[in-house]
Amino acid sequence: MEVREGRADEAETLSALVLRSKASWGYDAAFLAACAPELRIRAEEVAVRRIVVAQDARGGVLGVASLEGEPPTAALGLLFVEPAAIGRGVGRLLYREVVRRAAELGVGRLVIDADPHAAGFYRAMGAAVGDDACGVEELVRFEVAPVPLPEWARAWTGGAPAVHVGNVADFHAQFGDGEGDRERRAAADHYACLAAFCSPEPAALVLPRVVPHGWIERVGRELGWSAVEVYDGLVGPGGGGLVDALRGRPALLGRLAETGLPWVAWGWTRALGEVTGRALGEGELRYESKSAAHELFAGILARGGHPRIVLPGQWRARTRREAVRLLGARVRAGEATVVKTEHGVGGSGTFIVTPRRVREAGGVRAVLRRLPRGPLLVEEYVPGPERDAAGGPRDLTCDGFVDADGRVWVVGGAVMEVRDGCYAGATVGPSVVPAWAERPLVAFGRAVGRELADSGYRGWFDVDFVADGSGRLAPTETNLRLTGPSVAFMVAARLDALRGAGHLVRIVDRVGLGARLPEAPFDDLCRELARECAGLGAVFVPAIPTGAFEPSPWLGFLVAARDPEVLDAAEALVRAGARRVGADFAGLEEDGAGSRR
């Protein structure tokens, strides 16, 4: 389907379609006759009312909509679908087109006076029930605040769809942080599915693992994507790098290059730079190192101007003996400590060591025997409020990127869910970051971005913080790649453009499923969760589907809503649905490879 502008010479044809669509709700002939003058489209009104038409590939008209009035307030005057085409996404396509055009026109408030039969559709599209009456008792008033994609989102890919590369394992392997281990590489290949959300709109997606048939189409319907070319299953059971697999497929590389579209990777590597023509500078990724990032933070703070930022002490232990000495001194002083490896993702390689844990383990050496070999970083633990304390959230992050010209874009702050040092999810959106924290968080994130730009780095970055409970933030690391919060920012930008401003988006790293599912029941589960979330006024997006086929199955997902309570309810609904799977599919024989393509 496509949308085009209406023509004056088809006014009568469109009027007839409107009446057929209205009649599909079961109204009698007398009522329809009374409505006919109001619903009629006149030839001279087609341009004035900004009539748009949805048509199929053969030019058949499937639906009609209108954007009426002038900024700052306008109305969705018509939205009607040919009865035979209802359920095919025509209404969704037209609605989103009107919202897009309203944003371009500068409309700040789009009013919809809806037939009660269509009220469910507008709620599902994200419209909010209006505060004022529409003046016609039988109609329901809805409102939308149209906004275009934010400037940062357009700058990220130059306003164009992009080729997304899920090279999570490749990125981490270049730092020698253990991603060569088969279990951890398998997990990285699952998380590569998040590359679908590396920009607000993908044109092509390159993935190491096979993904479910209908997954990208389901996600695309929620996020208004055009057809996405999916190249999956590139890395076989024996492992290997995604870029190596691409190099072994010159026809595919040529096909992607011919699109002329920008490439967006989960993280840049020298090998990926070679195949895309984006040279990776010497030392460009140095601040992915936790100790290098700490030195960067110290240099920024030494120059002043960030009074609400405090830097925890950090010491490098080159040997286990040195780590024992440093950690033992802190334990004797009754201090909690964070022990880190130089690299690691999502909290891997980060351990919180308390005096109590040392006693329970039988001493410092016993604790350290459980940690990875190699140099370790010993860092002060910053005490702070728990999530439910009055002081607010504990773990925050600031995301941004450095564009090709070295300009720093700060996207915003997010609140992360961190459990025992490990990342478990994040929430972005209006007022998520406490007011006291937002300005210092963004200011320090921008300062880090400028340092990264000066060092030659180009790409996405974030700065992670912990709150100390007294109105200060302690930066803990930088990530020179995309992350879970960055995915949430991309989805929030896209939903705001499709459905109106103000979305909160939460990404949940993984939730266990009660049973391992064949592909068809998994798709049914996602359809049911999407329907139930829509009933709450929320959006559900399955973000990491491939974990559902593991022996210990799990799912990564996003939920979105404008109200924090609705967002919490949607997350709880998805978690309950995931647990329920075990009961629903008890006794179902696992199909294994036979259920997968």
Domain CATH for 19: 3.40.630.30
Bridge pairing between strands 459-467 and 539-544: unpaired
How far CA 495 is from CA of 98, 492, 531, in Å, comes to: 14, 5, 17
460 part of a folded domain: no
Mind giving me the DSSP string for 43-68? GGGTTTTTEEEEE-TT--EEEEEEEE
- Of 306, 348, 100, nearest in space to 201 by CA: 100
What's the pLDDT band for 385 if we cut at 50, 70, 90?
low
- 7 and 139 in a single domain? The answer is yes
What's the pLDDT band for 221 if we cut at 50, 70, 90?
very high
174 part of a folded domain: yes
0.85 surpassed by pTM: yes
Number of structural domains (the chain) is 2
**How many CA atoms are closer than 13 Å to the CA of 37, on its beta-carbon side?**
2
- 74 and 112 in a single domain? The answer is yes
pLDDT digits (tens, 9 = 90+) for 58-116: 999 999 999 999 999 999 999 999 999 999 999 999 999 999 999 999 999 999 999 99
Domain boundary, last residue among 124, 144, 164: 144
For residues 534-562, average pLDDT: 94
- 74 and 30 in a single domain? The answer is yes
What's the pLDDT band for 389 if we cut at 50, 70, 90?
very low
pLDDT of residue 137: 63
pLDDT of residue 388: 43
Mind giving me the DSSP string for 444-463? HHHHHHHHHHHTT--EEEEE
pLDDT of residue 157: 95
- 126 and 155 in a single domain? The answer is no
- 124 and 81 in a single domain? The answer is yes
- 124 and 165 in a single domain? The answer is no
Q: Is the pLDDT of residue 387 over 80?
A: no
pLDDT digits (tens, 9 = 90+) for 427-485: 999 999 999 999 999 999 999 999 999 999 999 999 999 998 888 999 999 999 999 99
450, 521 contact by CB (below 8 A): no
pLDDT of residue 5: 96
530 part of a folded domain: no
What's the pLDDT band for 593 if we cut at 50, 70, 90?
very low
The DSSP 8-state label assigned to residue 213 in this structure reads: T
Domain boundary, last residue among 259, 281, 303: 281
* Euclidean distance between CA atoms 226 and 202, whole angstroms: 8
Q: Is the pLDDT of residue 592 over 50?
A: no
Q: Is the pLDDT of residue 368 over 90?
A: no
- 17 and 136 in a single domain? The answer is yes
238 part of a folded domain: yes
342 part of a folded domain: no
pLDDT digits (tens, 9 = 90+) for 335-344: 999 998 888 7
Domain boundary, last residue among 144, 179, 209: 144
- 6 and 58 in a single domain? The answer is yes
206 part of a folded domain: yes
- 56 and 189 in a single domain? The answer is no
Count the neighbouring beta carbons within 10 Å of the beta carbon of residue 131: 7
465, 399 contact by CB (below 8 A): no
- 14 and 137 in a single domain? The answer is yes
497 part of a folded domain: no
Sign of the Cα torsion 194, 195, 198, 202 reads negative
How far CA 66 is from CA of 5, 32, 41, 146, in Å, comes to: 10, 20, 10, 15
State residue 379 phi and psi, 5-degree precision.
Answer: -130, 145
252 part of a folded domain: yes
Q: Quote the Cα angle for 275-486-128, to 5°.
A: 130
Q: Is the pLDDT of residue 392 over 90?
A: no
Residue 422 identity = C
Count the neighbouring beta carbons within 10 Å of the beta carbon of residue 438: 16
- 13 and 56 in a single domain? The answer is yes
| Structural domain for 110, as ranges | 2-144
* Euclidean distance between CA atoms 369 and 375, whole angstroms: 13
- 42 and 115 in a single domain? The answer is yes
State the burial class of residue 231 (Cβ atoms within 10 Å of its Cβ: 0-12, 13-18, 19+). middle
For residues 193-200, average pLDDT: 96
Dihedral over alpha carbons 205, 210, 211, 213 (to 10 degrees): 100
For residues 307-320, average pLDDT: 93
What's the pLDDT band for 498 if we cut at 50, 70, 90?
very high
